[in-house]
A = this chain, B = another copy of it.
Amino acid sequence: MIKYYSINGELVNKEQASLGVTDLAIQRGYGLFDYFVVKKGQPLFFEDYLDRVEQSAKWLHLELLVTREALREQVLQLIRANGEQEAGIKIILTGGYADDGYSPAKPNLIILEMPPPVYPKSKFEQGVKLMLYEHHRTFPSAKSINYIVGIYLLPQQQAAGAEDVLFHSNGEIYETTRANFFIVKQDDTIVTAGEGVLHGITRKRLLEVAKHHYAIELRNPSLDELKLAKEAFITSSTRLLMPVVQVDEVTIGDGKPGSVTQRLLELMKAEVVRYLDEH
């Protein structure tokens, strides 16, 4: 039973966990976050996520106020207190209480724990559909809390039966609202955007694992290439790796998850096991 959240280092009963309404997250949507899963009681790829929290804070001019060691300990304290072996953890750092309603102040640090993400098996076995939308995220490399475009598009996404929205700009594909996007070319080369996207932790691990087996091109896949792709997939902290078989009206390959995607999913599952064994 998840009973607690952590607010500025204090465990708080989750029903009582609150922020004053002048916080800059509430007044101006200003803050950063990160999210990772807990498996067998361990935060998966923990140090990578702590790295990214530090990078996002630097990018957004928000001071973390605690050392990396203290932040790590706050997360572990929360996991211990809630006693769950499988969960999701979200770290949020907000702009703090802004007297003038605009200037970042002393940030508030929130750590939420939630049930682990669950996706129907069918999505991995049959693949999912994505919906295209022309947009390039603002400051994509910082994991800010700004999700206005994705949330605004939710009704359209649901009407289209799409798992997520795939952003493109000037004919080039970037990422989805919450995942990195990859295509597999006919010669099995893997292509994913190198810059202008969030550098996902799962993306990073995937690239490390994949490079021993496949050629990799770090560049934006073009919209035209999508029609010629053999396979496509997305990676994220919640989904690990999920096959994509349709983008708008374009069927990817033969419309079924391909062999490269399936092999990469197995390699990633093994990477998770390896990590948990080693930590």
* Chain A positions near chain B (C-beta within 8 angstroms): 5, 7, 15, 17-31, 33, 60-61, 90, 92, 94-95, 101-104, 110, 112, 114, 135, 138-139, 144-152, 154-155, 178
Contacts and interface: CB of A to CB of B under 8 A. Distances in A.
* Residue of A33, A104, A146, A154 with most chain B CB atoms under a 10 A cut-off: A146
A26 B28 contact: no
Given A18-B18, A18-B20, A19-B19, A29 B144 contact: yes
Query: How many copies of this chain does one complex carry?
Result: 2
A148 B138 contact: yes
Nearest to A147: B28
* Residue of A21, A30, A112, A139 with most chain B CB atoms under a 10 A cut-off: A21
A7 B21 contact: yes
The 5 closest A-B pairs by CB, nearest first: A29-B29, A18-B18, A28-B147, A29-B145, A25-B26
B104 A145 contact: no
Contacts of A23: 26
B152 A29 contact: no
Contacts of A110: 21, 26
A101 B92 contact: no
B30 A61 contact: no
B18 A102 contact: no
Nearest to A15: B20
A148 B149 CA distance: 13
Nearest to A95: B151
Nearest to A20: B18
Contacts of A139: 148-149, 152
6 contacts: A5-B21, A23-B26, A26-B31, A26-B92, A101-B114, A139-B149
B22 A112 contact: yes
Contact of A92 (B27, B103, B155): B27
